[in-house]
Structure formats: C-alpha cells, structure tokens
Amino acid sequence: MSPTTPMYRVGPGHFETDEARLQKALERYHEGKGLIGGDPRRRPRWLHPLPPEPARAFRLHQSSPEHLQRLQTFLHHRPLEIEIGSGRGDFILDWAARHPRRHFLAFEVKYKLMRRIVLKAEKQGLGNLWATDDDARYDLPRLLPPASVSVFHILFPDPWWKPKHQARRLFVPPFVDVLGLLLEPGGILRVATDVPGYGDYIVELVEGHPDFLPHDPALAERFADAAPTSRQAFCDEIGRPYTYYFFAKRSS
Ligand SMILES: C[S@@+](CC[C@H](N)C(=O)[O-])C[C@H]1O[C@@H](n2cnc3c(N)ncnc32)[C@H](O)[C@@H]1O
C-alpha cells in the first residue's frame, strides 16, 4: 500500500435494503430525516468555523448574505458541475484545474476534508471551485434552479449498510428526483461504486426514473482524463473491482 493512499473499510460482501424500513424513513425525508449532522438550521455557529470569507466555502445557514450573493453569482455560470461526497478532493481539485472555464461545487460533509479542499484550491489558485460541508441533500433543492447542472459526480458514495442508516444514502427516490430536476437536458449523472449490490440498486433506481436514459458506457470517454478519487486509488492498490455508471438526462 502506498504511504499516501488512505485505508478504507471494504464492508460486508452483500448489500441489502430493508424496503419497509426505508419507505417509513422516507415518509419523513422532507423533514430532514437522514441528514448528516442533523438539521443545518440548528447547527452551532462556534463549531468548526469556516475559513474566513471571502474564502470559497459556505454554509447555507451560517454564511453572510454578501457571501451567499457571491456564491449565487458563481453558480450562475455555465457549465456548472457538482461533486457530492468529494472526500479528500483528489478528483475535483484536479478536474477543476483541467477545466478552468467550468465552475465547480464540492459537497463534503466532513469538515476537515471540506476545509482541505478549500485550502488546497486556494493554494492552487483555483477560482472556479467552491465547497461546503452542508449535506448536499439539504442544499441542492434550495440553492439551484431546475436544469442548471451539467454534470453530477457521485463517486464511491457511502453504502450505509445498516437498516437504521439507509435513509442517509444518496441513492433514494426523493434525491434521484432532485438530481433529475437540476440536471440540464443531456446532462450527466456520473457514478462509481465498489459495492456491486449498491451498483445494481443505483442502476435500477436511476434507469427506472423518467428523467434518465439507461447507463451508457460510451459517455466514459468524456471523463477519460479524470484523476482517480482516493477510494478508487485504494481499490486499485488492493485489486478491488469497481464500476463507473453514466446516466444522461433525457432531452424531453
Ligand atoms: C466513501 S467516501 C468517498 C469519497 C471520495 N468520493 C472518494 O471516492 O475517495 C463518501 C464521502 O461522501 C461524503 N458524504 C456522504 N454523504 C454526503 C452528503 N449527503 N453530502 C455531502 N457529502 C456526503 C462522506 O463524508 C464521505 O467523505
């Protein structure tokens, strides 16, 4: 194992969903059930202070109105790509540097990782990347209008194995609705996972959604020069297989 590659847990061999329990939890989805860190409106301000404004980090309920206005101006730019669950930022920092004319937003709920991304972006002089440690499921429907995103990158999302944690998964019907709404026609949902059962579940969910076309492996070409994420590098080192999926948003 290379000294720079973090160790990750690989989890159990099988992936299951307790549908009855998940459905029950999803009845309270719009009240914030499953949000990581709880309701962001009740988050204490003194905990984990953000890098001082105007650094390109924000929280929907803590940043100043001026800063949120700066963010809105940034988000008006097209094309706009969003990564959800950026981890150490290995992919998004490299991708933003390769595509200076695009704008990027990184969601990473772990404060230290989000901060790392913001500081590294600053050091690299990247003016086209903002980040937040808000839960993406809370912010996205409140932050962006329909058809405003050209690519969503969701790479190696947490499977949340335990039945009581299923509601924290990104791939649940109400969030796939949000992804479909926010993608522009022809926009791409790019997903990777090393948990085969979760991969099957994602394919079933997204392909069964009226906004999306079936997984199209040919779309991989557009991302051929993307840097691996840190979880991907770990899988490569231990020889653990993973799969990338590409779902385009239907044009009508
Ligand atoms: C398994 S890690 C993968 C990280 C990175 N994409 C990689 O492949 O190395 C999943 C990451 O998603 C973050 N995450 C999970 N749910 C999230 C959410 N709702 N909003 C933002 N980040 C989230 C976690 O904190 C974690 O760092």
The per-residue pLDDT for range 89-120, each reduced to its tens digit, is: 999 999 999 999 999 999 999 999 999 999 99
Burial class of 86 by CB neighbour count within 10 A (0 to 12, 13 to 18, 19+)? buried
Within a domain: 73: yes
Contact indicator for 129, 106 with CB cutoff of 8 Å: yes
pTM: 0.97
- The CATH number of the domain where 76 resides is what? 3.40.50.150
Confidence of residue 68 (pLDDT cuts 50, 70, 90): very high
pLDDT at 239: 97
207-223 residue pLDDT tens: 999 999 999 999 999 99
The tally of domains found in the chain comes to: 1
125-130 average pLDDT score:
98
Give me the pLDDT at residue 173, please: 96
| In-domain check, residue 25 | no
How many other CB atoms are there within 10 angstroms of residue 76's CB atom? Answer: 12
Ligand 1 centroid distance, CA of 107 (Å): 8
21 is a domain residue:
no
Note if 135 is an active site residue.
Answer: no
Ligand 1 nearest atom to the CA of residue 113, by list position: 27
Q: What is the pLDDT of residue 246?
A: 99
Q: Ligand 1 test: best mutation among 9, 36, 153, most atoms within 8 Å of CB?
A: 36
Residue nearest to atom 1 of ligand 1 (CA): 158
| pLDDT value, residue 47 | 77
Q: Provide the pLDDT confidence category of residue 1 given band limits of 50, 70 and 90.
A: low
Position 6 scores a pLDDT of 80
Task: Identify the domain containing residue 129 by its residue range.
Answer: 53-248
* Residue 15 belongs to a domain: no
